[in-house]
Amino acid sequence: MLNASLNELSAALAQKKISSAELTQLFLDRTSRLNGALNAFITVDAEKSLAQALAADERIAKGDAKPLTGIPVAHKDIFVTKGWRTTCGSKMLSNFVSPYDAHVIERFNAAGAVILGKTNMDEFAMGSSSETSFYGPVKNPWGPAYVPGGSSGGSTAAIAARMAPAATGTDTGGSIRQPAALSGVSGLKPTYGLVSRYGMIAFASSLDQGGPIAKSAEDLALLLNVMAGFDERDSTSVERAAEDYRRELDRPLAGLRVGVPKEHFGGGLAAEVGKAIEAALAQLEKLGAKRVPVNLPSSGLSVPAYYVIAPAEASSNLSRFDGVRYGHRAKEYRDLADMYFRTRAEGFGAEVRRRILIGTYVLSHGYYDAYYLKAQKIRRLIADDFVAAFKQCDLIVGPTAPTVAFKIGAKAADPVQMYLNDIYTIPANLAGLPAMSIPCGFGKDDLPVGLHIVGNYFSEARMLNLAHQYQKATDWHQREPGGIRP
């Protein structure tokens, strides 16, 4: 059961081979065995989870089940969750119990899924290693001396360690894809606006996007079916017809044009990662895909542009809070804002303070044009690069991160080294494009490597098609970290 796909779990529940209460207990047991070592969850509440599981069992008995009914899902602790403590990895919110649910949580609740717990993360999602959490660093299940990536590292570690069959994350500059790569799991950042950000605590509102994390592309498709959809409470939510993201999973790859950006194979790329990506590209060609060289000439500027734009938006959020998004919930908004300010004296962690400083500086009079405005122009150039590239190819493939997981503490003192983790993932956020990462091999110290797939706007089904066909032909996504077997 711990290794089963979501379809298999759904079938087992329908055939009464297992109840949701038993399935939930199974993952809760595993979590209580492993969480002390891995620190993937900030909050677990077995009583609440099991009550939801019992309700799901009733629903299944009544013949009213949907695909995810009764399936436990771990949520990044950035999604406010009614009745659950929601900390965003921060001391600031250490006793904040949300009075309402984020849109994403509402969607999973309506589908009958079970909330398995709230996962650990970098404070306010600022980081690439899940080390900046007030609740302590998350350990990588493939080697506890290593980071799992971040900021959604609690969710990716939970999936890798089989503490949860499915999870959610958020991605502002790579926080779903980079930890998915470093933890050896699959994760997808949808097109900006596809998943509502209502109740998803803001980091940088023009970049933030929630998405699913799981063992396979097939599972991601099922989860995205639940998460995606219009929500009038998020002013950037896109109004479009619902899709079934599973619909192209079985399409053959023959004729698919896979763009390979030469800029993503330069100096900073570890040789072992490059080798795994080359092997994956060869596999895709074997499956009928055509390899097309493309150029993303401005992508080299993505990290500096991002580290102007994201801190600028973050510092605005943290000082004024996001009134637009919470406007329909004035009281709840005030509660949350109030919590920020009452506890403010106790201070944010060092990384959050650094971002506020950078953000305030680049927005200040006299520096705005030189930094913020210039970064916005670079953002446009990066988006234009993709417009040109997608005239030549259907999907873009390359490495998710330049290296495999690094040791806890190794980059903590050097913010620039830390920021360079997201060199390949940030361009998709700046352009608002969908992108995902899937396991494609192993590098140094037997640590996982991730394959990055970027699609044109709303081409999630096609990305999942490539990923699923690749996963049918390979077994990297089924590999499990050995050392943590109980």
Compose the 176-205 pattern: x for residues touching ligand GLN by CB under 6 A, - for all others.
---------------------------x--
CB 229 within 8 A of CB 196: yes
Q: Which of 101, 106, 131, 171 binds ligand GLN (CB under 6 A)?
A: 171
CB of 182 to ligand GLN, least distance (A): 12
Q: Which of 126, 167, 253, 378 binds ligand GLN (CB under 6 A)?
A: 126
Q: How far is CA 420 from CA 157, 307, 315, 444, in A?
A: 21, 11, 21, 19
Q: For residue 460, what are its two tokens?
A: 């999630």
In the bound state with ligand GLN, the residue whose beta carbon lies nearer, of 429 and 469, is 429
Indicate which residue of 175, 216, 237, 298 is catalytic.
Answer: 175
Q: Which of 10, 175, 315, 316 binds ligand GLN (CB under 6 A)?
A: 175
In the bound state with ligand GLN, the residue whose beta carbon lies nearer, of 182 and 220, is 182
Indicate which residue of 76, 118, 139, 411 is catalytic.
Answer: 76
CB of 268 to ligand GLN, least distance (A): 15
Vertex 111 angle, CA 108 and 115, to 5°: 40
Active site residue 215: no
In the bound state with ligand GLN, the residue whose beta carbon lies nearer, of 81 and 175, is 175
Q: Which of 42, 73, 88, 125 binds ligand GLN (CB under 6 A)?
A: 125
CB of 274 to ligand GLN, least distance (A): 22
Residue 163: CB partners within 8 Å, gap ≥ 6?
A: 27, 30, 31, 34, 35, 38, 40, 41, 74, 157
CB of 202 to ligand GLN, least distance (A): 11
In the bound state with ligand GLN, the residue whose beta carbon lies nearer, of 218 and 422, is 422
DSSP characters over 221-286: HHHHHHH-S--TTSTT--------TTTTTT---TT-EEEEEGGGGSTTS-HHHHHHHHHHHHHHHH
CB 234 within 8 A of CB 196: yes
Query: Which position has the token pair 């971002």?
Result: 355
**Which residue stretch of 18-26, 172-180, 386-394, 458-466 sits at the interface with ligand GLN (rule: CB under 6 A)?**
172-180
Active site residue 175: yes
Q: Is 55 exposed, middle or buried (0-12, 13-18, 19+ CB in 10 A)?
A: middle
CB of 409 to ligand GLN, least distance (A): 17
- How much is the CA Rg of the chain, to the nearest whole Å? 21
Q: Which of 309, 310, 358, 389 binds ligand GLN (CB under 6 A)?
A: 310
Residue 414, number of CB atoms within 10 A of its CB? 10
Beta bridge partners of 437: 187, 452
Number of residues that bind ligand GLN (CB under 6 A): 13
Q: Which of 81, 87, 151, 205 binds ligand GLN (CB under 6 A)?
A: 151
Order of all β-strands in the sheet with 395-399:
41-43, 114-119, 72-76, 167-171, 209-214, 186-189, 435-442, 448-455, 395-399, 257-261, 290-294
Indicate which residue of 151, 183, 186, 315 is catalytic.
Answer: 151
CB 156 within 8 A of CB 148: yes
User: Of all helices (H) and strands (E), which one includes residue 114?
Assistant: strand 114-119
CB of 173 to ligand GLN, least distance (A): 3
In the bound state with ligand GLN, the residue whose beta carbon lies nearer, of 170 and 459, is 170
Closest alpha carbon to 227 in 338, 103, 54, 316: 103
Binders in 229-248 for ligand GLN, by CB under 6 A: none
- Looking at the chain, how many residues does it have? 486
- 3-class state of residue 375 by DSSP: helix
Decide if residue 72 touches ligand GLN (CB under 6 A). Answer: no
Closest alpha carbon to 115 in 36, 247, 24, 201: 24
Q: Which of 10, 20, 49, 172 binds ligand GLN (CB under 6 A)?
A: 172
CB of 379 to ligand GLN, least distance (A): 15
Binders in 412-431 for ligand GLN, by CB under 6 A: 422
Active site residue 151: yes
CB of 319 to ligand GLN, least distance (A): 18
Q: Which of 89, 112, 127, 481 binds ligand GLN (CB under 6 A)?
A: 127
Please identify every residue annotated as catalytic: 76, 151, 175
Q: Please give the residue ranges that form the binding site for ligand GLN (CB under 6 A).
A: 125-128, 151, 171-175, 203, 310, 422
